Amino acid sequence: MEISIKEFKGLSKTTMAIENVVLPIDYKKIGNLEYHFYKKPEIRGKLSKDKSRIIGEFEINVFLEEQCSRCLKELHNSYEFQVDGVLVDENLEYEDFESIIIEDEKVNLTQILEIALIENTSIKTLCDEGCKGLCKTCGGNLNLDECICDSEEYDVDPRLEKLKDILK
C-alpha cells in the first residue's frame, strides 16, 4: 500500500495527516523471520515539510501471533511502534533522522511496517518472565504441572535407559 506525496510537495500547507490505514497483510517474511498477524496492522501519522525535505512520523499498531520461546504457548501480542524519518529518493544520512526511501514520490507503508518490525521486535518472546519452559525429558509444560520425570515413579522405556545416564 502506498501514499503519493506528489501533490503534497506542490501545496503551500506544511503538514499532511495520514489517517488510520489498515494494511491488508496477514503474514510477512523479512529475511529469515516470519511474522503472523491475528489482526491486520494499522498505520497512522503525518508528513511535515521542513525547508527542502519532508519528514514522516508514523505510529504502527501491530497484532502478532507469537509463540513463547520456552514453553511454546501460543500468544496474541499487540505492539505500538514509532517510525520517524526523512523521505528520500536514495539512501542519504541525516544526523537527526533516519532515511525512509521512497520511489516515484510514493511512501510505501509496507516498508514502514517492515522497519518497525525489524527495529522493535525480539526474536525471543516469553509468555511470562518466570516461564519455566518444557521438561527436557518428557516435554511437558512445567508451568502447568509438576513434572515427575526425575522421580522413581517415572518409567523410562528400557531401550532408552542408557540415554538417561548421559543426562546425569
Q: Give the pLDDT confidence of 123-140 residue by residue, as tens digits.
A: 889 999 999 998 877 788
Most confident of 40-44, 46-50, 128-132: 40-44
Mean pLDDT is lowest, of 18-32, 73-87, 142-156, for: 142-156
Q: Smallest Cα–Cα separation from 85: which of 110, 39, 53, 133?
A: 53
Q: Tell me, what's the pLDDT at 43? A: 96
- The torsion angle over the Cα atoms of residues 130, 136, 140 and 141, rounded to 10 degrees, is 10
Nine-digit cell string for 110: 509496507
* All three cell numbers of 68: 513463547
d(CA 102, CA 12): 21
Name the band, by pLDDT with cuts 50, 70 and 90, for residue 158. Answer: confident
Question: Cα separations (Å) of 90 from 86, 87, 93, 101, 105?
Answer: 11, 9, 10, 6, 12
Enter the pTM of the model: 0.76
Q: What is the pLDDT of residue 148?
A: 72
Q: Which amino acid is at 102?
A: I
**Residue 100 near residue 87, CB atoms below 8 Å:** yes
Of the ranges 84-98, 102-116, 150-164, which is most confident? 102-116
Confidence label for 116 from pLDDT (cuts 50, 70 and 90): very high
If phi > 0 it is left, if psi is from -120 to 50 it is alpha, else beta; for residue 45 that is: left
